[in-house]
Amino acid sequence: MISRLEDFSNSVLGADDPLAVWNIATSFFESFGFIGSMYGIRHLQTTPNEKNIRFSNALSDWKTSYMAHKDYERDPLFIYAPQLPSVFFTGVNFLEDHPYLREEDVAVIRRAESFNLTSGIALKMAGGEDGVVRGWNLIGDLSRQEIMSLNDAHGGVLHVCAALADQKISQTVTRPDAYLTNREKECLILLANGQRTAQIANKLNIQSVTVDLHMRNAREKLGARTREQALAVAIVSNLLPL
C-alpha cells in the first residue's frame, strides 16, 4: 500500500491546479476496476446546484441523464450521507442495505443502472457537521461480492487517496498551529502501510486503546473526521513525509 500511496501523493502534491488533481485521481480510481468517479459538494441549507457535482469522462452519458432529470436534487448519496458511515456502498446492487430509501430516491439509482452502473463505494469527506456534505462515489458494474472484496483489499488506500485529492480540490488546509507527536506520526505512518489498529498496537508494543487515542488526537488536531483523512491532511500539510 505504501508505495502506491506514495506515488499518488507525490503526483497530487505536485499538481498545479484542481483540474490536474482531478485527472490524476480519476485515472487512479479507474485503475482498480471502477468505470468512473463522481465528486460532489452539497450545502445542506441551500438549493442543490448541479455545478457542485463533477463526473469523470467515462460517465458522460450518465451525467447527461443525471442533469436532465435534476437528480442532484434527490441523489441519496448527499441526502442521507450525514447519517451514514465514512465508507458505504451504493448502487442497485446494494438497495437492500438501504431500506429507508423512498421511491424518488430509488428512481435516481435505477436511472444509473440503465447505464450499467450498478455498484459503487462512497467515500465521505465531510458529513454535514458544518452544513456541507462532500465526498466521492467510485462507480462501476461490479457485482455485490466483487466490490465488497475490492473494498476489503484496497479500501484503505482508496479512502486515503480520495482524502488527499479532496484536500487539494477543495483547497482545505489544516490549522497553522497543528502539531503531531512522534507517536501520532508513527501510528499514521503504519496506517499508510495498511496496518489496522491491532497490528499497529503490536508493532509499537502498546495497547489498541492507546492507538485509538493517538488516532483521535491526530484527527482533532488536523480537523479530520476519520483517521484516513487525518493521514491525508498530514501529508498535504507536510507534517508527515512518507
Walk me through the domains of the chain, giving residue ranges and CATH numbers: 17-169 (3.30.450.80), 182-236 (1.10.10.10)
With a cut of 80, say whether residue 120 has pLDDT above it: yes
> What is the spatial distance between Cα 75 and Cα 108, in angstroms, rounded to a whole number?
6
- Output the pTM of the full model: 0.84
Assigned C-alpha cell, 240: 508527515
Query: Among 89, 67, 92, which residue's Cα sits nearest to residue 80?
Result: 89
Give mean pLDDT, residues 103-126: 95
Output DSSP code: residue 135: E
pLDDT confidence tier of residue 6, bands split at 50, 70 and 90: confident
Q: Residue 242 — very low, low, confident or very high, per pLDDT cuts 50/70/90?
A: low
Give pLDDT, residue 234: 87
Per-residue pLDDT band for 1 (boundaries 50, 70, 90) equals low
Beta strands in 76-150 (DSSP E): 87-90, 119-127, 132-140
Answer yes or no: are the C-beta atoms of 124 and 135 closer than 8 Å: yes
Task: Look at 236 and 114; give whichever has higher pLDDT.
Answer: 114
pLDDT in tens, 53-76: 999 999 999 999 999 999 998 999
Instruction: Report the percent of the chain where pLDDT is more than 70.
Output: 95
Q: Confirm if 233 and 222 have CB atoms less than 8 A apart.
A: yes
**What local confidence, expressed as pLDDT, does residue 145 receive?**
97
Size (the chain), residues: 242
70: left (phi over 0), alpha (psi -120 to 50) or beta: left
- pLDDT tens per residue, range 125-152: 877 777 788 899 999 999 999 999 999 9
Residue 177: predicted pLDDT: 58
- Sheet with 119-127, strands from edge to edge, namely 53-55, 36-43, 132-140, 119-127, 87-90
- C-alpha grid cell for residue 153? 483489499
Spatial distance between the Cα atoms of 232 and 161, rounded to a whole number of angstroms: 7
Q: What is the mean pLDDT of residues 100-126?
A: 95
Residue 121 is predicted with a pLDDT of: 98
- Using alpha carbons only, give the angle 139, 168, 17 rounded to the nearest 5 degrees: 100
Q: What is the mean pLDDT of residues 5-25?
A: 89
The confidence score (pLDDT) of residue 96 equals: 96
Question: Hey, what's the cell of 150?
Answer: 475490492
Q: How many CB atoms within 10 Å of residue 168? A: 20
**pLDDT per residue over 165-213, tens digit each?**
998 887 655 555 578 999 999 999 998 887 889 999 999 999 999 999 9
